[in-house]
Amino acid sequence: MIIGGHISLQDELLSDAMEHAFKLGASYVDVRIQDMESERITVENGTLREYQTDRLKGVGVRVIVNKSLGLASSTIIDKQSLVSTVDFAVSMAKASNNLAKPTVLSSVEPKIASSKIFCDVHPSDVSPEEKIRLTTMANKAAFAVEGVTNSRTILSWFHDVRDFTSAEGAEVNLETNMVGYAQLSVALHEGKLEQVSDSRSKCSGFEFMDEQEFQNFAKETSELANKAVKSRTPKTGKYEVVADPRIIGVILHEAFGHASEGDLVRTNESILTGMLGKDIANDQVTIIDDGLVKDGFFVPYDDEGVKKAKQVVVEEGILVGYLHSRGSAEELHSSPTGNGRAQGFSYPQLVRQTNLFMEKGNCSLEELIEDIDNGLYILGRGAGGGEVDVGQGAFTFKVGPSFIIKKGELDEMVRGVSISGMILDTLRGVTGVGKETEIRTSVFGGCGKSGQTVRVGLGGPHVKIREMLVGGS
């Protein structure tokens, strides 16, 4: 049952379940209850291809018995099921005794809190016909662009309510709405194809959807694909570059952010292991992980009921902290940072980023470009995938259609651009930081780790980098 945004189980029922866990030998127990609904509408070349609706609801129990962790979940939420779930979690903990690494959680002050995203128009209150109409009109606007051979447009939203209760006294309720749209356009020119995709999302109600902006966005994505397919690829080599906020966000999240996660640091899987207090970047670089940031994903508390701190990871080039769950904080003799996150009620909490970004500097884009004789302005719109080795700090990413820089001016567009490097060399090679920061998030996916996906935000300002290996022709 959902009452005023809260998934309600009688306090007596939760108390009885936790008391039952203690009688079975548990020294710690928490209960997570989740109720999530979502929709995804896909229109391709003027035809409705998909109208998908999902509902996820259930309860997860975490216990510690003799320093052994036990997890269990159920999609049935009632007294009998909750007791059975506790029984199974305790039996899992006892079965893993002496077989798994001991689990000890760092001490925290239990929080009693409720937080939600303001929603003027709930997506479920908008008719399916209206959602299909909006998506179809945007798709047609994109398909009408000259040279475009395929147009796929998607509208998606979710409403997620999570309750966390622990035997320590924590009671945290979070309610999140998120809405977004995406466009994929394929253009053909002289036998060549170029695909460009882009999306926009916001933690908001359906008021985020503006019909004209949706159509303009879809059309602009097609126009970019049509322009890019007529462009050449750059010559492979090392270039001085200016990276836009999207690409900086991807590089930081994938190649640096994961390396700052306490569990990977503890197991020596991170290039940042043992580097606290060391100079790892140019002194213009400050990197922050913050759960409450404009245009980012909404994480005021993590899935362990811990208030999400504004965690400074790098301060003026110095590594000053890692990201922690309660478990990794205990192991590394630190404090939890509110980064214990889970995909849903049936998943264990892992150390995950929230909104990781670089702080702004004091340079305009023109100032970053003006003294570059031969370089590249690399852009994230239309970027593809990549590969990262967190232990080595190596990365390779496919970026979107970008621009040659010649004698301090933006020149021709180029396509098929990839970038490679070592993350610490890249951060030490920063020579200028822009004065405006952009953060982005997405309803269409998120960050993957250990079989889980959580939504995150990423970004930063424009950043000038002394040298980067660029792949092209």
pLDDT level of residue 2 (50, 70, 90 thresholds): very low
248-273 burial code (b ≥16 CB/10 A, e <16):
bbbbbbbbbbbbbbbbbbbeeebbbe
Interatomic CA distance for residues 102 and 296, integer angstroms: 35
Q: What does the pLDDT average to over 209-213?
A: 97
Q: Cα-flanking dihedrals φ and ψ of residue 93, to 5°?
A: -65, -45
Are 206 and 41 in contact by the 8 Å Cβ rule? The answer is no
Mean pLDDT of the chain: 95
pLDDT level of residue 386 (50, 70, 90 thresholds): confident
Q: In CATH, what number does 2-228 get?
A: 3.30.2290.10
Q: pLDDT tens digit string along 230-256?
A: 999 999 999 999 999 999 999 999 999
Interatomic CA distance for residues 274 and 29, integer angstroms: 32
Q: What does the pLDDT average to over 322-326?
A: 98
- Nearest CA to 243 out of 444, 456, 438, 441 is that of 438
Q: What is the DSSP code (8-state) at residue 255?
A: I
pLDDT level of residue 135 (50, 70, 90 thresholds): very high
Q: Is the pLDDT score of 151 beyond 60?
A: yes
Are 104 and 163 in contact by the 8 Å Cβ rule? The answer is no
Interatomic CA distance for residues 454 and 452, integer angstroms: 7
Domain boundaries, the chain: 2-228, 237-471
pLDDT of residue 428: 97
Q: What does the pLDDT average to over 367-384?
A: 94
Q: Is the pLDDT score of 73 beyond 90?
A: yes
Check residues 77 and 93 and name the one with the higher pLDDT.
Answer: 93
In this structure, what token pair is assigned to residue 428? 């030490």
Q: What does the pLDDT average to over 428-439?
A: 96
Q: What does the pLDDT average to over 362-382?
A: 96
Q: Is the pLDDT score of 396 beyond 60?
A: yes
Q: What does the pLDDT average to over 425-435?
A: 97
Interatomic CA distance for residues 261 and 258, integer angstroms: 5
Interatomic CA distance for residues 290 and 301, integer angstroms: 11
Q: pLDDT tens digit string along 265-319?
A: 999 999 999 999 999 999 999 999 999 999 999 999 999 999 998 999 999 999 9
Q: What does the pLDDT average to over 312-335?
A: 97
pLDDT of residue 7: 52
Check residues 4 and 333 and name the one with the higher pLDDT.
Answer: 333
Are 135 and 153 in contact by the 8 Å Cβ rule? The answer is yes
In this structure, what token pair is assigned to residue 260? 């700052």
pLDDT of residue 4: 40
Q: Is the pLDDT score of 107 beyond 60?
A: yes
CB within 8 Å of 320: residues ≥ 6 apart: 276, 277, 312, 313, 314
pLDDT level of residue 384 (50, 70, 90 thresholds): confident
Are 180 and 202 in contact by the 8 Å Cβ rule? The answer is yes
